[in-house]
Amino acid sequence: MTTEGTQGTHGAQDEPGTPHLDDPRRPGPGAGRSARRAFLGAAAALGAAGTGLGLSGTAHAAGADRTGTESSGTDRTEARHGARGLASLPVPTIIGHRGASGYRPEHTLGSYQLALDLGAHIVEAGDLVPTRDGHLVCRHEPEIGGTTDVASHPEFASRRTTKSLDGVATTGWFTEDFTLAELKTLRATERIPANRPHNTLYDGRWEIPTFEEVLRWQDEQTRRRGRQVWIYPELKHPTYFRQLGLGLEERVAKILRRHGKDGRNAPVILQSFEPTSVQRLDRLVGNPLVVLLSGATTRPWDLVTAGDPRTVADLVTRQGLREIARYADGIGPTLDLVIPKDAAGDLTTPTTLVRDAHAAGLILHPYTLRNENPFLPPRFRKGSDPDAYGDVFGLYRAYFATGIDGVFTDQPDTGLLARADFVDGS
With beta carbons less than 8 A apart as the criterion, state whether 335 and 302 touch. Answer: no
Question: What span, in angstroms and rounded, lies between the C-alpha atoms of 71 and 88?
Answer: 10
The yes-or-no verdict on residue 59 having pLDDT over 60 is no
Going 194 to 109 to 364 to 136, the CA torsion angle's sign is: positive
H, E, C per residue of 59-72: HHHHCECCCCCECC
Confidence of residue 29 (pLDDT cuts 50, 70, 90): low
Paired strand residues for 406: 93
Across residues 126-137, what is the average pLDDT? 97
Whole-number pLDDT of residue 45? 38
Whole-number pLDDT of residue 386? 87
Whole-number pLDDT of residue 1? 52
What are the pLDDT digits (tens) for 66-82? 323 333 233 335 555 56
Show the beta-strand stretches assigned E in 265-389. Answer: 270-272, 289-293, 330-333, 363-364
Question: What span, in angstroms and rounded, lies between the C-alpha atoms of 224 and 110?
Answer: 16
Of 426 and 177, the one with more pLDDT: 177
Confidence of residue 64 (pLDDT cuts 50, 70, 90): very low
Question: What span, in angstroms and rounded, lies between the C-alpha atoms of 34 and 13?
Answer: 28
What are the pLDDT digits (tens) for 359-382? 999 999 999 999 999 999 999 999
Of 257 and 19, the one with more pLDDT: 257
Whole-number pLDDT of residue 144? 98
Q: Average per-residue pLDDT in the chain?
A: 86
Whole-number pLDDT of residue 81? 59
Confidence of residue 126 (pLDDT cuts 50, 70, 90): confident
